[in-house]
A and B are shown apart, each in its own frame.
Chain A
Amino acid sequence: MRVLLFAHLKDRIGHEEFELTLPGPTSADELWRLLIATHPELGSFRPSVRLARNGEYADRHTCFLNTDELALIPPVSGG
């Protein structure tokens, strides 16, 4: 799974994307656990970051696959 980072997340992690291997179809909660296990600094951002699966906002029912493109969407500030 390709994981994209934006804005201050990119600054904090130090790069704009990384790869994450899922054990199989994965729930949003389990995905967060995997993300934080590999990048503990993401833990503090969880309350404010939305997940996007293949360019669509995810919800707690979304199932993620290894072939997906995941984006971590911090609070937006366009316009």
Chain B
Amino acid sequence: MRIEILISSRSIDLQRPFLEYLDVGMGALASFTGIVRPEEDTRTITALEYEAYQPMAENIIRRIIEEIATQHPCQFVGVTHRIGTIPVGQAAIHIVASATHRAEAFHMLSQFMDRLKQDVPIWKTRAHDQDPLVLHPPQ
């Protein structure tokens, strides 16, 4: 299984076809994109800020993918997470998974997102609107 991880402040290229990662025998290519919504904690916002502990985040992401793949084998998994200021309507995360059958690819996407939100050291830190709102998660 090939894994590609990118954590960057650059806009995520959602048009990239990942064709170079398609193997013979692969029957499914699935993707998920997480997009910044215009509301955060009931407030209307214009953007979110993200930060990451990047070296650890990359290692944890890789480990999560490898663990999920023991139950749901995939040929390729690519994860791109954007950090910095992300305007509403733009992608914060994009994940692509290829597998022999669609079930493995769908399971990889779903379980990866669940695990990301538990363990990967990436945070939403601020929401931007007319009055910048600092996000403080519950204690």
Contacts and interface: CB of A to CB of B under 8 A. Distances in A.
A76 B139 contact: no
Contacts, number: 73
B56 A76 contact: no
A79 B137 contact: no
Contact of A47 (B119, B120, B125, B139): B139
A55 B60 CA distance: 9
Central interface residue in B59, B92, B135, B139, by most chain A CB within 10 Å? B139
A73 B121 CA distance: 7
Chain B interface residue bracket vs A: 20 to 34
A19 to B, nearest CB: 18
Contacts of B135: 8, 77
Given A44-B139, A79-B34, A79-B93, A74 B56 contact: no
Counting from the closest, the 5 A-B pairs by CB-CB distance are: A78-B122, A55-B56, A7-B123, A77-B124, A75-B137
